[in-house]
Amino acid sequence: MVALAKSVRPANGAADFDHAMTSSSPPACPAPGPNLFVGAVSAGRTAGGTPWLVLALMASGIAIVPLMLHNRLFPDVSNRSFLALSLIMALCLGIRIAMTNARTPWQTRLRDFSSHAGAMLLIGILGAIASYETAADTSGFSDAALARSDTALHFDWVALYRIVCGHPLLQHLGALAYGSIYVTPWALLGWLAWHGERDRAHRFLLSFWAASVMTLALFPLFPARGALAFLWHGPIHYMPTSGLYQSAIIPARRAHAIQAIDLGAVQGIVCAPSFHTASAVIFMVTAWPFPALRRVIVPVNIAMLLSTPVEGTHYLTNMLLGAAVAALACVTIRSLPNTPAAA
């Protein structure tokens, strides 16, 4: 995932979304001394998204069980990937429980990061499983319609692919930028935990979760082989990161040829909306209020967006849909009423 503002925004939430991108920078974070740190955590951290996040994760876990039973497709619990992920989840939970009553800044940071990292990992695992489950119930492919939409937008995917094929440096940089989706969320969560921004971390996770749910809900409407498989004819001179997985895995899932999900080898099969695009927008919205964080996160994710058409074999239309999903997720989560945050 599985795998990241555009112009499509819900009218009622546009002001909130703009505020997230343009609000003035928050006060400088306190120095890491114990008294200043604890003061920063207690000031302005009492309203948060913890109960919403717990409810979201519980609902996702419950909802995915009927899908697995219906498709008779379950994660492969016998391989090392499942064991490794289980151990990491157990470690995060153990640290969270052991440091419930954190007494030092370091304990508080470690507790918060472990809690948020565990939630992020769970969102990713549930999303990856759900994408394979959902693929079984899709039919046909929407590549022709998506390609026509790109033509109307004057976007030439083949021309862009030819440029990348002719420049190995672009290939390497594009692959690195596209893969940053696996690094950026942990960097964000680490930074937010270090500076005591627990509420922002909760809302980031909720936005990411909401975008995942909306992407998976829209996926059956736009199953696609991908731009490389549909538009390119002839020898493949450069195989992008996403390869031809969509055109291979989706038919296999429809034929029930995949018997188990190897969580260590899950491939992104959702073409539209582009979840890389949705993730990039959410990452940038989360980082925007903090100048030091923004200077790193925004350029990295702009690079990821530029690499997405080729490395993700995405149509531009997919990316616009992904940006719309991210905008709606950010506005929706921002509008949630505040609730007392758990320790």
- What's the pLDDT tens digit per position in 93-147? 999 999 999 999 999 999 999 999 999 999 999 999 999 999 998 999 999 999 9
Q: Per-residue pLDDT for 36 more than 60?
A: no
- Asked whether the predicted pLDDT for residue 160 surpasses 70, the reply is yes
Do the bridges between strand 47-48 and strand 339-340 make them parallel or antiparallel, or are there none, so unpaired? antiparallel
Q: What are phi and psi of 196, to 5 degrees?
A: 70, 20
| Greater model confidence, 187 or 259 | 187
DSSP state of 154: T
Report the C-alpha gap between 6 and 9 in whole angstroms. 8
What pLDDT does residue 188 have? 97
Give how far Cα 272 sits from Cα of 137, 217, 301, 325, Å.
Answer: 16, 11, 19, 11
- Rounded to whole angstroms, how far apart are CA atoms 297 and 202? 18
Which residues on neighbouring strands pair with residue 260, listed in sequence order? 74
Domain boundaries, the chain: 11-25+33-39+48-336
DSSP 79: S
Report yes or no: 96 and 161 within 8 Å, Cβ to Cβ.
no
Q: Are 200 and 222 in contact (CB under 8 A)?
A: no
Single-letter amino acid code for the residue at 9: R
Residues of the chain with pLDDT > 90: what percent? 78
Q: Tokens 């343009």 label which residue?
A: 22
Mean pLDDT of the residues in the chain: 86
pLDDT of the residue at 49: 57
- Phi, psi at residue 48, to the nearest 5°? -155, -175
Distance CA(197)–CA(47), nearest Å, equals 11
Amino acid (1-letter code) at residue 153: L
pLDDT higher than 60, residue 239:
yes
- Sort strands 74-75 and 260-261 into parallel, antiparallel or unpaired: parallel
Task: Band the pLDDT of 337: cuts 50, 70, 90.
Answer: confident
The answer to whether the beta carbons of residues 74 and 261 sit under 8 Å apart is: yes
